[in-house]
Amino acid sequence: MVRRWLLPTLSEILAKSESTSIEPFAGIDETPQQLHSIQKIRQGEQQWHSAVCALGYLLQTAPSNSDGLLLCAPVPLFEPGTYATAIFSPVHPGQPLLASATAVAMDVAVPPEIPLLPADPLQHERFCLVLTKQFGLVMSLGSAENPHFQFSFDPADVQLAWQSLRARVMLTATHQLAALDAMVDRLAPVVPDYQLVMRFSQILLQQLPTEPSPHHHVTPPVVAKPEKPIEATADVELLQALTHEIRTPLTTIRTLTRSLLRRKELEEQVIKRLESIDRECTDQINRMELIFQAIELAEGQTVDLTSMSVSHLLEQSLPLWQKQAERRQVNLAVAMPEQLPQVRSNPTILDRVLNGLVENFTRNLPPGSQIEVEVVPVGDRIKLQVRSIREEFDPAEGHCPHETKAVGQMLTFRPETGNLSLNLQVTKDLFQILGGKLVVKPNQQQGETMTIFLPMH
């Protein structure tokens, strides 16, 4: 009987947290499936090396009297310097499991090796855990077969990563545990200064290439493009820079806010304020992610279409929609059968677009209004209808429908709320790329009906 490995890898820890990941850029106009995995590996490598460059900047600009600890795999990230380093590496055939106890001191110039058991999935993962007096950072690229770059400055994530690595040290290098424990106790994870996190993110993004290498033009094997593609405009570069500049500080603020929320001594009023900051940051980050996705598609990025469960997607999204409605005193009613056929679309982008549409619905309705969501099979398609029933408004109270203004060719802006969103035509094109169709019937006095058709698979 094969026993399941119980210790989590660092990529698994980050996947369960609110860590930051970097969306890969798209390739163009090639179709062999083997090249898709090559592209994914290449993108992961570029993201990892960009993060190492950003980390190197933070370490070089640290105070001269600072010390730190780097735990890496499978090789050291930097030349020997002022920071102690230990390397986690797999045990090679014939190699003794425990190293000689005469070489256990954490010598900065000669990084000690900590063996990993043959069954340990961590031996296939590239990662780095950094502890200094100014910050703690954990980042992981995952395995070579499934690279996915993630990083986090959250002290809770850093502590979980250390506990996972410490358990492995106990298994194969107990003689090094005392030295490591002493260093970690001296460099306990702290909430970093937000400017430090922002600088790391900015350097990381600056190091990433803006387009694929011309030597590797690849694309997913199953793709969809709109019959009438989204019109790419001259302001695309400006929008890309705008979304990056907005997402980076908001992600930093959200990370620091969630770190504070983990403290037990906070007053109830402080917790409510921090939770409000977290919600607003998350809403804005999600909106920027959707706009950035639309920009990439406007530039010709192709999309993977796959068989997916609408029921599963809605079960995950409905709690979020309910919270959005409650925050704005809007009632949400949902009607859908227990079982629905599979559809063919892209689950990640579809979820992002639907969340954005429902968020816009709730934000633009006066309190007391209602949103009705109905999902039913119709012929060879699934029909998802979202209908808003506007509460009777009094213009004197400011509850009249908000006017929108166009911003370039892709966005609309509501001056009364400050809400920036994709315009209707771009949203329709997004659903066309996703294999579906969007039909909107506006009625400013009574509400709006939005109907989405998705092809069954």
Whole-angstrom Cα Rg for the chain:
25
Q: What are the structure tokens assigned to 444, written together?
A: 């400013």
- Dump pLDDT digits (tens) for 41-69: 777 788 888 888 889 888 888 876 678 89
- Dump pLDDT digits (tens) for 217-239: 333 334 444 444 444 444 566 66
**For residue 430, how many C-alpha atoms fall within 13 Å in the half-sphere facing its CB?**
26
CA distance 246 to 108: 39
Reported as type and span, the H/E element at residue 6 is none
* Domain boundaries along the sequence of the chain: 10-206, 220-298, 305-455
The answer to whether the beta carbons of residues 293 and 427 sit under 8 Å apart is no
What is the amino acid identity at position 90? P
CA distance 413 to 205: 27
Which residues in the chain come in under a pLDDT of 70? Answer: 1-5, 18-40, 64-65, 79-82, 91-111, 209-242, 244-245, 391-403, 416-418, 443-446
Cα 237 to Cα 243, 244, 298, 405, 427: the distances in Å are: 10, 11, 11, 21, 19
According to DSSP, the residues that pair with 334 across neighbouring strands are 373
User: What is the pLDDT, as a whole number, of residue 60?
Assistant: 83
User: What is the pLDDT, as a whole number, of residue 210?
Assistant: 52
User: What is the pLDDT, as a whole number, of residue 398?
Assistant: 47
Residue that the structure tokens 């990439």 belong to: 296
First to last CA, the chain: 37
User: What is the pLDDT, as a whole number, of residue 136?
Assistant: 92
Q: Which CATH superfamily is domain 305-455 in?
A: Histidine kinase-like ATPase, C-terminal domain (3.30.565.10)
Dihedral angle sign, alpha carbons of residues 357, 359, 363, 368: positive
User: What is the pLDDT, as a whole number, of residue 420?
Assistant: 73
pTM summary value: 0.51
CA distance 203 to 61: 13
Cα 291 to Cα 150, 241, 285, 435: the distances in Å are: 21, 12, 10, 19
User: What is the pLDDT, as a whole number, of residue 409?
Assistant: 77
